[in-house]
C-alpha cells in the first residue's frame, strides 16, 4: 500500500545512487482480459462495475463489440477482483458464443446447459458445460456462470447468488425479466442495442401503454425511467462492422440519441470486371402478388448468386466471395423459406428473418424491404427495430430489394412517425 505524506511531513532524502544498479525485473504478464483497459469507454464500464454502481446501462450501435465487452468485463471481474459474475443471454446460441469467448480468454467459465440437449463444443478454451447438481459457482475465489435469462429465472437465488449480473442483448429483455434477475445479484450491468427489435411479448399490455416502466418494455429503458440518476450510463460510440455509408444511413434514422461513427477498416466487394460495388444499393422490383410474390423472393436469390462472382477486399487481402460470406434477410418466415428453397444448393448462405439473424453478421447481405409487396403501411412493416436489424447485418456490401410501389404507399394520408421515418429512409436508399 502506498501512503501519501501529510502536508508538512519532511520528505526523506533520496538514497545515493548505487554504482551497481539492481537488475531490471521483467514486467508482469498481461492478463488475457486486459484489453478492456485499452479503450477509455470499455475501461469506464469496468470502473462503474468495479466501483459498485448498482445499475450500469451500456447502449451500443450495431457491431460495436457488445459480446466482446461482456466477455472481457466478466473475465476481469472474476479473475482480478475475485467476484462471482452471472451472465444472462437471451438465446442459447448467444450463451454458447459468450462461453467460447471466455474460454479463449483463459477464464474457466461455466455454461449452464439443459441435460437433455446435445452438449455444445467448448473444447477450444477453458470454459465448461455444467448441468443439474453441478450448476454452482466455484467454492472459493471468483467465477463466471452463463445461462439464458429464462434459465436464470427458475434457478434458486440462494444457490446461485452472484456479485454482479451482466445482461447481454439487454434491449431484448423485458423490465419484468430484469426484475426477476435482480434477486441474484446486488449489481446489474445491461449491455445492448437500443435500435434493435423490442422484446417479443404475447400477453396484453394495454394497461401499461402510458407507463415508461411497463413490465413489457425493454429493460434498460424502463430501468433508466424508474431510477434516473441512480443508473450509470456508459455509451459505446463506434461501430467496427458498419462502413461509413451504412453509418450515415442508419445512425440518424434509428439512433438519433446515440451518435456513433464507423471505425471499420476499409472493405469492399468488386465485380467480375474489378469495379468496386457500392457499400449500399437498392434494387427495385415490381411486385403484384403481395409480400410473397415470387418476383421478390426470386430476385433475392438471384442477387445472392450473383454476389458469388465478386471478390472481397479487406485489410488481409482479396479473395473470392463464398456462400458462407452471404446472408439473405427477410421480414417474414414464409419469405425466408422461399429464398432458402431457391438456394437449397448453397446451404452455407445464411437465410432467415430479422428476428432470427439479430446479432449475426456477414461480409455481404441481400435484404428484402419489410414493406415490399404491401399496399398499405402496416405496423409490422414499418416497425423500426426490424428495419434496423435488416440493414445492419453486413460489413462490406448491402443490396436492398425494394418494391416500385412502396414510395407511393409511404406517401398515403395521415402518416404516423414510423411511416415518415421509413419514407425518409427509402428516399435515401433510392437516391
Lowest-pLDDT choice from 23-32, 93-102, 161-170, 404-413: 23-32
pLDDT at 6: 42
CA atoms within 13 A on the CB side of 406: 34
Is 4 among the domain residues? no
Rounded CA separation 380/50 (Å): 41
Verify that 218 and 355 share a domain, yes or no.
Answer: no
DSSP codes joined into one string, 287-351: --S-TT-HHHHHHHHHHHHHHTTSEEEETTEEEE--GGGEEEEESSHHHHHHHHHHTTT-TTSEE
More confident residue, 11 or 312: 312
| Domain range for 305 | 244-430
DSSP class of 159: T
Q: Are strands 238-239 and 110-112 parallel, antiparallel or unpaired?
A: unpaired
pLDDT at 28: 63
What is the mean pLDDT of the segment spanning 328-356? 97
Of 75, 7, 55, 318, residue with least CA distance to 188:
55
pLDDT at 180: 94
Confidence of residue 22 (pLDDT cuts 50, 70, 90): low
Percent of the chain with pLDDT over 90: 86
Verify that 223 and 366 share a domain, yes or no.
Answer: no
Verify that 174 and 262 share a domain, yes or no.
Answer: no
Verify that 177 and 253 share a domain, yes or no.
Answer: no
What is the mean pLDDT of the segment spanning 327-345? 98
What are all long-range contacts of 92-97, with beta carbons under 8 Å and residues at least 24 apart?
Answer: 92/117, 92/148, 94/67, 94/148, 94/168, 94/169, 94/359, 95/146, 95/147, 95/148, 96/120, 96/122, 97/67
Backbone angles phi, psi at 366, to 5 degrees: -115, 130
pLDDT digit string, tens, across residues 273-294: 999 999 999 999 999 999 999 9
Verify that 249 and 103 share a domain, yes or no.
Answer: no
Write down the pTM of the prediction.
0.89
pLDDT at 2: 29
In this structure, what CATH number is given to the domain that contains residue 404? 3.40.50.300
Verify that 307 and 362 share a domain, yes or no.
Answer: yes
pLDDT at 8: 47
pLDDT at 216: 95
For cell 457500392, what's the residue?
Answer: 278
Is 26 among the domain residues? no
Rounded CA separation 177/339 (Å): 35
Verify that 63 and 120 share a domain, yes or no.
Answer: yes
pLDDT digit string, tens, across residues 189-205: 999 999 999 898 888 99
Q: Is the pLDDT of residue 9 over 80?
A: no
Average pLDDT for the chain: 92
Verify that 159 and 292 share a domain, yes or no.
Answer: no
pLDDT at 5: 39
Of 63, 41, 69, residue with least CA distance to 239:
63
Is 128 among the domain residues? yes
Q: Is the pLDDT of residue 24 over 80?
A: no
What are the Cα distances from residue 187, in Å, to 141, 145, 429? 18, 15, 43
pLDDT at 14: 47
Confidence of residue 125 (pLDDT cuts 50, 70, 90): confident
**Total structural domains in the chain?**
2
Verify that 402 and 278 share a domain, yes or no.
Answer: yes
Rounded CA separation 412/163 (Å): 53
DSSP E strand boundaries for 186-299: 187-192, 231-233, 238-239, 261-262, 268-270, 280-285
223 is written with which cell numbers?
430501468
Q: Is the pLDDT of residue 79 over 50?
A: yes
Amino acid at each position: 500500500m502506498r501512503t501519501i505524506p501529510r502536508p508538512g511531513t519532511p520528505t526523506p532524502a533520496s538514497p545515493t545512487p548505487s554504482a551497481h544498479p539492481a537488475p531490471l525485473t521483467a514486467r508482469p504478464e498481461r492478463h488475457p482480459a486486459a484489453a478492456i483497459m485499452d479503450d477509455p469507454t470499455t475501461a469506464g464500464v469496468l470502473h462503474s462495475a468495479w466501483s459498485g454502481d448498482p445499475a450500469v446501462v451500456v447502449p451500443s450501435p450495431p457491431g460495436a463489440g457488445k459480446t466482446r465487452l461482456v466477455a472481457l468485463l466478466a473475465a476481469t471481474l472474476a479473475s482480478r477482483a475475485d467476484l462471482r459474475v452471472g451472465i444472462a443471454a437471451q438465446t442459447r446460441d448467444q450463451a454458447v458464443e459468450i462461453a467460447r469467448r471466455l474460454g479463449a480468454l483463459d477464464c474457466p467459465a461455466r455454461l449452464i446447459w439443459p441435460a437433455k440437449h446435445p452438449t455444445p463444443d467448448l473444447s477450444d478454451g477453458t470454459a465448461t458445460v455444467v448441468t443439474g447438481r453441478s450448476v454452482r459457482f466455484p467454492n472459493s475465489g471468483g467465477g463466471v456462470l452463463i445461462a439464458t435469462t429464462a434459465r436464470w429465472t427458475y434457478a434458486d437465488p440462494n444457490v446461485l447468488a452472484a456479485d454482479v449480473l451482466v445482461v447481454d442483448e439487454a434491449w431484448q429483455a423485458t423490465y419484468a425479466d430484469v426484475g426477476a434477475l435482480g434477486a441474484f445479484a446486488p449489481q446489474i450491468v445491461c449491455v445492448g442495442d437500443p435500435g434493435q427489435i423490442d422484446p417479443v411479448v404475447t400477453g396484453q399490455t394495454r394497461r401499461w401503454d402510458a407507463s415508461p416502466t411497463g413490465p413489457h418494455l425493454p429493460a434498460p429503458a424502463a430501468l433508466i425511467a424508474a431510477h434516473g440518476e441512480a443508473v450509470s450510463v456508459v455509451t459505446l460510440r463506434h461501430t467496427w462492422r458498419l462502413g461509413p455509408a451504412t453509418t450515415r444511413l442508419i445512425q440518424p434514422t434509428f439512433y438519433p440519441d446515440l451518435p456513433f461513427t464507423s471505425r471499420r477498416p476499409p472493405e469492399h466487394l468488386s465485380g467480375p470486371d474489378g469495379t468496386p460495388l457500392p457499400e449500399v444499393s437498392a434494387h427495385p422490383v415490381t411486385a403484384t402478388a403481395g409480400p410473397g410474390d415470387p418476383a421478390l423472393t426470386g430476385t433475392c436469390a438471384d442477387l445472392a448468386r450473383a454476389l458469388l462472382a465478386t471478390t472481397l477486399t479487406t485489410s488481409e487481402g482479396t479473395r473470392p466471395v463464398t456462400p458462407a460470406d452471404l446472408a439473405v434477410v427477410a421480414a417474414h418466415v414464409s419469405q425466408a423459406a422461399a429464398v432458402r428453397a431457391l438456394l437449397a444448393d448453397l446451404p452455407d448462405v445464411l437465410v432467415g428473418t430479422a428476428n432470427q439473424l439479430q446479432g449475426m453478421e456477414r461480409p455481404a447481405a441481400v435484404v428484402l424491404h419489410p414493406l415490399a409487396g404491401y399496399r398499405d403501411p402496416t405496423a409490422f412493416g414499418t416497425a423500426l427495430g426490424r428495419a434496423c436489424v435488416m440493414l445492419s447485418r453486413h460489413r462490406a456490401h448491402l443490396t436492398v430489394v425494394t418494391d416500385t410501389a412502396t414510395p407511393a404507399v409511404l406517401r398515403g394520408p395521415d402518416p404516423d412517425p414510423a411511416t415518415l421515418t421509413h419514407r425518409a429512409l427509402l428516399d435515401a436508399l433510392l437516391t
